[in-house]
Amino acid sequence: MQTPPAYERDPFATSLETRVLRSGEEKGRPFAILEDTIFYPEGGGQPCDLGALNGVAVVEVQKREGEVRHYLGSALEPGPASLSLDWARRFDHMQQHTGQHLLTAVAQDQFKWETTAFHLGASVCDIELSAPAISQRDMERLEEAVASEIRAHREVSARRVSAEAYGREAVRSRGLPEGHIGDIRLVQIAGVDLNTCGGTHLRHTGEIEVLKLLGTESIRGGTRLFYVAGRRARQRLAAHETRNAGLRALLGAPDEELVPALQIKLDQLLALERRSRKLEEELAEFQAAVLAAQPGGLVEAHFDGRDMAFLQKLARGILAADPAKAAFLTSEPGGQGIFLLSAGEGSTLDVPAAGKAVAAILGAKGGGSGKAFQGKAPGLTARAEALARLREG
């Protein structure tokens, strides 16, 4: 049998002295081929390891044409190589991946749900199961069964076997990769699971620490089940506690009453928004009447913090009251200037031409046709100049 790489021989090794056999470049990215490596190349749903090679960042590791390529931050020449592994990333991946093996085995043995895919994400992992749906009760039962196997501290081991010996093993597997030749690596959880896998794993299930199921979604006639294991689960709990502490302070309620307290606040906010819209409509009607009563063919007004919808509503009210009028209305919501130029059917103002002139003076972008033109400007410092231009006709 072939000698396995260092990441298989000892997945807990964090450093290695070896050699760069060959270096090259792929699509502008330098890479190195090593005599041996502790860096796991991406595969089987598990992301690659990261770290450093002679102090140069290892940014990606992939299998290419039967060799492991270490893609680097800068090129290296052949020669002695000191490898340093990002251990926190590796151990996290081993917790998630070993957790997946255990979750898959328990789901199939106790619920008859076959795993059809696995994805180890940056923050959340998932497996795809053959179950059409998973109830909350079944998810709780599955999680408790997995927790029992974690507490059992079952040994996790790996070995390689020949193709002939593989045929005699009771392996739980989705099959070998197409075209696979040579020996086959098996990963075993004592008394629970035996599976083909090339990834890195823990020494026993107790090192998983904890596995928390997060939820499900339907996919391709099956169910995707999300989970986190180990340190990720503890970090997620810490984030929830920090968030809950903030919510408790804001809402003045204990954890068990946060959702009802928040619902009360949302209901109050919705009521206030309805009241605000009603007051805004009343204000627009009042302002429209006042402006429509002003002498002259052009009326103007500026409002702080009002949006374009308010200006449009106001303009409609003015022109409904006096179709001979034209209105120039502005506002500055959020520090940005907006303007609306609108004219009634009885007004002689050439709105498109006047609107373009106003936009040019204000440094605005806008457009319109017929009797309305609107735009946005960085500010309204030239508003008086724009108004003077409109009054010139």
Q: Are 127 and 221 contained in the same domain?
A: yes
Q: Is residue 139 part of a domain?
A: yes
Distances from the Cα of 44 to the Cα of 117, 255, 338, angstroms = 9, 40, 55
The angle, 0 to 180 degrees and rounded to 10, between the axes of the packed helices 136-151 and 87-111 is 120
Q: Which of 340, 342, 296, 339 is nearest to 318 (CA)?
A: 342
pLDDT band at 177 (very low <50, low <70, confident <90, very high): low
The rounded distance, in Å, linking the Cα atoms of 32 and 70 is 5
Residue type, position 197, single letter: C
The rounded distance, in Å, linking the Cα atoms of 303 and 23 is 67
Q: Are 120 and 234 contained in the same domain?
A: yes
Q: Are 195 and 173 in contact (CB under 8 A)?
A: yes
Q: Are 231 and 100 contained in the same domain?
A: yes
pLDDT in tens, 379-388: 999 999 999 9
Q: Are 371 and 301 contained in the same domain?
A: yes
Domain-terminating residue out of 85, 114, 144: 85
Q: Are 67 and 24 in contact (CB under 8 A)?
A: no
pLDDT band at 208 (very low <50, low <70, confident <90, very high): very high
Q: Are 120 and 11 contained in the same domain?
A: no
Model pLDDT, residue 178? 66
* Sign for the pseudo-dihedral over CA of 136, 140, 145, 150: positive
Q: Is residue 107 part of a domain?
A: yes
The rounded distance, in Å, linking the Cα atoms of 206 and 147 is 10
Model pLDDT, residue 100? 97
Residue type, position 392, single letter: E
Highest mean pLDDT (candidates 26-30, 65-69, 93-97, 366-370): 93-97
Model pLDDT, residue 281? 85
Tokens 């089940």 correspond to what residue?
225
Q: Is residue 226 part of a domain?
A: yes
Residue type, position 73, single letter: G
Q: Are 214 and 281 contained in the same domain?
A: no
The neighbour count for residue 260, using CB atoms within 10 Å, is: 11
pLDDT in tens, 361-382: 999 999 987 899 999 999 999 9
CB burial class (10 A; 0-12, 13-18, 19+) of residue 59?
middle
Model pLDDT, residue 1? 56
Q: Is residue 1 part of a domain?
A: no
Tokens 């209305």 correspond to what residue?
329
Residue 391 has pLDDT above 70, yes or no: yes
Residues 6+ apart with CB under 8 A from 57: 50, 51, 72, 73
Calculate mean pLDDT across residues 146-161: 96
Model pLDDT, residue 257? 94
Q: Is residue 325 part of a domain?
A: yes
Q: Is residue 73 part of a domain?
A: yes
Model pLDDT, residue 65? 84
Q: Are 180 and 148 contained in the same domain?
A: yes
Calculate mean pLDDT across residues 2-13: 92
Q: What is the CATH number of the domain that holds 213?
A: 3.30.980.10
Q: Are 251 and 258 in contact (CB under 8 A)?
A: yes
Q: Is residue 175 part of a domain?
A: yes
CB burial class (10 A; 0-12, 13-18, 19+) of residue 365?
exposed
Q: What is the CATH number of the domain that holds 282?
A: 3.10.310.40
Number of domains in the chain: 3
Q: Is residue 270 part of a domain?
A: no
**Within 13 Å and on the Cβ side, how many CA atoms surround 333?**
11
The neighbour count for residue 248, using CB atoms within 10 Å, is: 15
CA 231 from chain centre, in angstroms, equals 20
The angle, 0 to 180 degrees and rounded to 10, between the axes of the packed helices 308-321 and 258-292 is 30
Domain-terminating residue out of 238, 261, 287: 238
pLDDT in tens, 256-315: 999 999 999 999 999 999 998 898 888 888 888 998 898 989 999 999 889 999 999 999
Model pLDDT, residue 318? 93
Model pLDDT, residue 127? 97
Residue 173 has pLDDT above 80, yes or no: no
Q: Which of 375, 376, 382 is nearest to 351 (CA)?
A: 375
Q: Are 328 and 297 contained in the same domain?
A: yes
pLDDT band at 175 (very low <50, low <70, confident <90, very high): low
**Token pair recorded at residue 393:** 């006709």
β-sheet bridge partners, residue 219: 222
The rounded distance, in Å, linking the Cα atoms of 215 and 223 is 10
pLDDT in tens, 58-80: 999 999 888 999 999 999 999 99
Domain-terminating residue out of 69, 85, 101: 85
Q: Which of 252, 345, 333, 330 is nearest to 297 (CA)?
A: 345
Model pLDDT, residue 181? 72
Domain containing 34: what range?
6-85
Q: Are 233 and 135 contained in the same domain?
A: yes
Average pLDDT, the chain: 93
Q: What is the CATH number of the domain that holds 11?
A: 2.40.30.130
Q: Are 138 and 21 contained in the same domain?
A: no
Least confident of 29-33, 176-180, 213-217, 388-392: 176-180
CB burial class (10 A; 0-12, 13-18, 19+) of residue 381?
exposed
Q: Are 41 and 127 contained in the same domain?
A: no
* Helices marked H in 23-86: none
DSSP-assigned states of every residue in 63-86:
EETTEEEEEESS---SEEEEEEE-
Pairing of strands 298-303, 326-331: parallel
Q: Are 223 and 316 contained in the same domain?
A: no
Q: Which of 49, 124, 120, 43 is nearest to 83 (CA)?
A: 49
